[in-house]
Amino acid sequence: MAMAQEEISAHISPARTILLRISRYNPEHDGASTFAEFTVPYEKWTTVLDAILEVKKHLDHSVAVRYSCRQATCGSCGMMINGRPRLACFTKISELDSETITVEPMNNFPVIRDLAVKFDRLFDAHRSIKPYLVREDSETDTGKEFLQSPGEVEQYIQFANCIKCGLCNAACPTMATDSTFVGPQALAQAYRYVADSRDKGKDSRLRVIDDSHGIWRCHFAGSCSQVCPKGVDPAMGIQLLRGYMLGFR
């Protein structure tokens, strides 16, 4: 019954259509990417991910796209939408104000196929900054919770919102040219743990990012913060962390 309702709702003739251009590329046998064009119906609530899934369902099931939660929580569906990194599930077609929507894989990520990219570099960089509390004791050992004041929580909670979608890395101009740059995602997470009053691992964490391809390679273009779908503001975290390392804070 649910299936039948879904099919009916997909075929109600809507008032408007858009031209959806999807980048097609398989590194195993394609020399360069091409665009496949589809005319897709949409309503004012239709997201770009809905439109891509409409294509997969009715027009071309071979389009490769990664997605999961459809509510900007899992960070899977990041892609370039009309030239800017966005979450496809968090971007309504109506807000783009364009008759044509072009979707491409995220910049600065290797393409697996079509819109799906490899996250290895992002996750490796994230792991390298030790994204956990570093201290010798633990709450379970001591039997006591590590208490924090609301003010101490405010220092880092914004940066704990990161969903590792990679949009910041896709927007970063340094990531476009530097293959070993740590990237705004990992640097913002380094600040998140350095700013956490429970953490005792500042020195070991800062050693990782105190490198010519680490925090000093950020030039404060701020694009990472403009595309973050969770309000993390990586540029702020990076500058605060650099200010701390320079002794200004």
Partner 1 sequence: MGRDGKKGIGGMADPRRYGIERVAYWLMRLSGLGLLAYFVAHIYETSNILRGRVGWDEILQMTQTIEGHIILALVIGMCVFHTVNGIRVMLGHGGVWVGRPARPDYPYNPASQNYRHKIGIYSAIILAAVAMMYGLAVLFGE
Stretch that binds partner 1, among 8-16, 135-143, 170-178, 205-213 (CB under 8 A): 170-178
Q: Strand, coil or helix: what is 49?
A: helix
Give the nearer residue to partner 1 in terms of CB position, either 45 or 248. 248
Give the nearer residue to partner 1 in terms of CB position, either 133 or 236. 236
Give the nearer residue to partner 1 in terms of CB position, either 25 or 38. 25
Q: How far is the CB of 246 from partner 1 (least distance, A)?
A: 6
Helix (H) or strand (E) holding 210: none
Residue of 41, 131, 201, 222 that binds partner 1 (CB under 8 A) = 222
**Which amino acid, residue 80?**
M
Residue 220 in the binding site for partner 1 (CB under 8 A): yes
Q: What is the 3-state secondary structure (H, E, C) of 143-202?
A: CCCCCCCHHHHHCCCCHHHCCCCCHHHHHCCCCCCCCCCCCHHHHHHHHHHHCCCCCCCH
Helix (H) or strand (E) holding 136: none
Residue 104: strand pairing partners = 80
Residue 233 in the binding site for partner 1 (CB under 8 A): yes
Query: Restricting to residues 6-35, which ones interact with partner 1 according to CB under 8 A?
Result: 27
Between CA 122 and CA 169 the distance in angstroms is 8
Query: Restricting to residues 61-100, which ones interact with partner 1 according to CB under 8 A?
Result: 83-84
Strands 34-42 and 16-24, by their bridges, are antiparallel
Residue 195 in the binding site for partner 1 (CB under 8 A): yes
Q: How far is the CB of 58 from partner 1 (least distance, A)?
A: 29
Give the nearer residue to partner 1 in terms of CB position, either 6 or 30. 30
Query: Restricting to residues 108-167, which ones interact with partner 1 according to CB under 8 A?
Result: 108-111, 117, 154-159, 161
Residue 47 in the binding site for partner 1 (CB under 8 A): no
Residue 193 in the binding site for partner 1 (CB under 8 A): no
Quickly count: other Cβ atoms within 10 Å of residue 79's Cβ. Answer: 32
Residue 92: strand pairing partners = 47
Between CA 168 and CA 147 the distance in angstroms is 32
Residues found near partner 1 in the complex (CB under 8 A): 27, 83-84, 105-111, 117, 154-159, 161, 171, 173-177, 179, 195, 219-223, 225-233, 235-237, 239-244, 246, 248-249
